[in-house]
Structure 1
């Protein structure tokens, strides 16, 4: 498994090359940068140059997660505000424009993929939403292509971005170069089970998975907990891991609240990676 780390765990802090050094020391071979102006400020030329220089001197591969809001001041209680499928056309364009600002950093940082969210928690699936999804994905795909970036659409715990609906979007839009960022924690949430649980989702979308997001929860709340640490209600990792594709980045995406110091983060990531590799070895024995 191509294990990696999301900078989401540091969302309350300004991203710095020393953080990337620490992720590398933990054993990450992929780093997903979470685009947030308070964290990785994609509008700050100096900040982008600094991060770009680090990746140019490293063999670690970067990917980008879309911004979820456009605010430069952020608190741990902030809710997502950018909505690519909002009923209001102005809000959809506003979200697209903000994501394109983040995408422009691919001129300096060698991102190969961008992970997108379609819809917020309350959004429901219908023909109008489908049309918004198709238009948005086509627009951002056309913008990302010349930058060498391909789109990944993440399954969420709303009614828009279920695995089945994501497959419909890809099929109807003929989006052959667009794939899915399969988030195991989201698939594990109780409101979407049993139809969209992890194993049914894998049967449906496995050929289109371009990346994995690994984290855990109690099957009721999107907690973004460390994998393999839940005593009750969590994902059965020993059962699930052998079913996952091994040729795509597997990004551990952990909650930023409560905040952790970088040494603790490195220790926890290293332990998580070691346990995953042990399970892989046991499955292949």
Structure 2
């Protein structure tokens, strides 16, 4: 069983053709990643239609990438925007619960060097705490966990303030938050591509694999976040397989791949190529788990 992100071509528009193609390629589960950076709210009718598409193609939802929001940012410094962002996360919790998932992945950024956002650093932790406190009961009653994803200082990199090699990551922040909340509410999402940007950061996040809830498995060249198919870049897949095999993670392996930075021009050959690397990696994890 293998899961693929829904946005491997685009995260806007009609997802039905892309769901059909991923099923035809051999993927069995979906990590819902549409509208992950937007203020889009899913209506009941849209959730029901996604469920019908999944049923039609024998796909199952594994988890959802929650939207960090734009104006409704989930830990914004303005209280009205933070509360709106919390409502946006609740919407993704509802989507996950409605469609059989067990987790919503959320971004928590490290302290940034970007001058426009650096003023947030001093109360970053407290704002995230407020939002997690607001979400905890809502998530628990729906049997959904929040999974914090490993990131680096993307705002400063995108602004040219710092190179990826010297960018901060959020290992310390995630560690503080995991120590504050119980495992049945707050866990960890490991993004293998993010862990290789600028430098190999895998060991900084290895301690969190005991709280592993979700996976974003993808490759890159170490310089940019390309979401390449496995074995096309610099990720040490043997090390990642060892960490997953030793962790309590028991869901299908989940791959966050994109056609955008590959030479493929159409989804079908991209998926045929990608699924082989996914199967190869899954077999390695199975082997490591075997007594």
What TM-score does the superposition give when structure 2 sets the normalisation length?
A: 0.76
Contact 2:37/2:68 (8 A) holds in 1: no
Following the alignment from structure 1 to structure 2, what is the Cα–Cα distance between the partners of residues 64 and 201? 21
- Which residue of the other structure, out of 76, 90, 106, is the alignment partner of 1:100? 90
Following the alignment from structure 1 to structure 2, what is the Cα–Cα distance between the partners of residues 118 and 18? 32
Provide closer, same or farther for how the CA distance between residues 236 and 89 of structure 1 changes in structure 2, counting only shifts above 3 A: same
Provide closer, same or farther for how the CA distance between residues 37 and 282 of structure 1 changes in structure 2, counting only shifts above 3 A: closer
Could you say which residue in structure 2 is the equivalent of 1:250?
A: 253
Could you say which residue in structure 1 is the equivalent of 2:161?
A: none
Could you say which residue in structure 2 is the equivalent of 1:72?
A: none
Contact 2:259/2:267 (8 A) holds in 1: no
Following the alignment from structure 2 to structure 1, what is the Cα–Cα distance between the partners of residues 41 and 9? 16
1:227 aligns with 2:230: yes
Following the alignment from structure 1 to structure 2, what is the Cα–Cα distance between the partners of residues 56 and 264? 24
Could you say which residue in structure 1 is the equivalent of 2:137?
A: 142
Cα RMSD (Å): 3.3
Could you say which residue in structure 1 is the equivalent of 2:277?
A: 272
Shift of 1:50: 1.7
Shift of 1:257: 3.0
Unaligned 5+ runs, structure 2: 154-166
Contact 1:83/1:118 (8 A) holds in 2: no
1:63 aligned counterpart, secondary structure: strand
Following the alignment from structure 1 to structure 2, what is the Cα–Cα distance between the partners of residues 51 and 189? 33
Following the alignment from structure 2 to structure 1, what is the Cα–Cα distance between the partners of residues 97 and 284? 38
Shift of 1:24: 2.6
Provide closer, same or farther for how the CA distance between residues 186 and 242 of structure 1 changes in structure 2, counting only shifts above 3 A: same
Provide closer, same or farther for how the CA distance between residues 42 and 153 of structure 1 changes in structure 2, counting only shifts above 3 A: same
Contact 2:63/2:96 (8 A) holds in 1: no
- Which residue of the other structure, out of 237, 261, 266, is the alignment partner of 2:266? 261
What TM-score does the superposition give when structure 1 sets the normalisation length?
A: 0.77
Contact 1:12/1:256 (8 A) holds in 2: no
Alignment of 1:14-29 (within 5 A): 14-29=13-28
Provide closer, same or farther for how the CA distance between residues 138 and 281 of structure 1 changes in structure 2, counting only shifts above 3 A: closer
Structure possessing the higher relative contact order (Cα contacts under 8 Å, 6 or more residues apart):
1
1:60 aligns with 2:60: yes
Shift of 1:208: 0.7
Which string of whole-angstrom CA distances, capped at 9 and with x for unpartnered residues, describes residues 38-84 of structure 1? 99x75344432221124456363431111244xxxxxxxxxx66532
- Which residue of the other structure, out of 166, 176, 182, is the alignment partner of 1:168? 176
Following the alignment from structure 2 to structure 1, what is the Cα–Cα distance between the partners of residues 65 and 9? 14
Could you say which residue in structure 2 is the equivalent of 1:184?
A: 192
- Which residue of the other structure, out of 199, 204, 215, is the alignment partner of 1:200? 204
Could you say which residue in structure 1 is the equivalent of 2:236?
A: 236
2:258 aligned counterpart, secondary structure: coil
Which string of whole-angstrom CA distances, capped at 9 and with x for unpartnered residues, describes residues 89-108 of structure 1? 23222222222233333463
Could you say which residue in structure 1 is the equivalent of 2:76?
A: 86
Unaligned 5+ runs, structure 1: 70-79
Shift of 1:6: 0.7
